[in-house]
Amino acid sequence: MQDLTVSLVQCELAWEAPADNRQHLAARMAEITGRSDLVVLPEMFTTGFSMNALGNAEEPGGATEQWLLDQARQRDCAVTGSIAVRVGDAVYNRMLFATPEGVSHYDKRHLFRMAGEQKRYAAGQERVIVAWRGWRINLQVCYDLRFPVFSRNRQDYDLMLFVANWPAARRLHWRALLPARAIENLACVAGVNRIGQDAKGLDYSGDSMALDAEGQMLADLENKNGTGSVVLSGADLVAYRERFPCHLDADDFQLR
């Protein structure tokens, strides 16, 4: 496996202001053009974690999806994050994964009932793994982090991404669960969260991070407004799995 350079973009988000957020994020990405294989943005990066699903939702292939595709092509990298997308009568919290060749997506499976997300959004049904530059990447959104069965590695991915709007009140959980997902799945993990305060008065501490398959911290943005990049070693990942093949003793199961 080749190495993969992953960039984490941690920032404040303007409330329900897609054009402003796209402009700001484009400027942030311009700082790392040519130096990254994959750029990870937060959950609902155009609006913040708003329950105004119908008001914020874009159509498939809409302005933000085209913007992501343009960014990927301009910067010769993959760019990912989630937005609200309407399909028929349903709105999904959809994680878009754009490469210069096109856009894949994953619809958030676990909806955050404490905010009433399940009343405004439809739940996705399928887990999604994309291939990019020799890495198999599992796409996950925020609350999915609490459900390890859904994200269990079946020897079908190398890197798991979590994009989030995870409040500071539960930062201990975020900082504990991300390493746990890496360790139990023998996979690299990157989680990107926002900072600042949203229109509902919720504070976000960021804590975006990247970890190797042993759960060792490779990057930790803490509460900083900034971008951090890390090189994930493909050779180290393969060597660790050969040295410590605990996946061979994993329990078999099926999701229903």
Which domains are present in the chain? 4-248 (3.60.110.10)
- The amino acid sitting at 210 is A
> How much is the pLDDT for 203?
98
> How much is the pLDDT for 219?
97
E-strand stretches of the chain: 4-10, 38-40, 78-87, 90-99, 102-107, 128-132, 135-141, 159-163, 188-192, 195-197, 203-205, 209-211, 217-220, 226-232
Does residue 256 register a pLDDT over 80? no
Compute the average pLDDT of residues 57-64.
98
Q: How confident is the model at residue 154 (pLDDT cuts 50, 70, 90)?
A: very high
Which residues form the catalytic set?
43, 108, 142
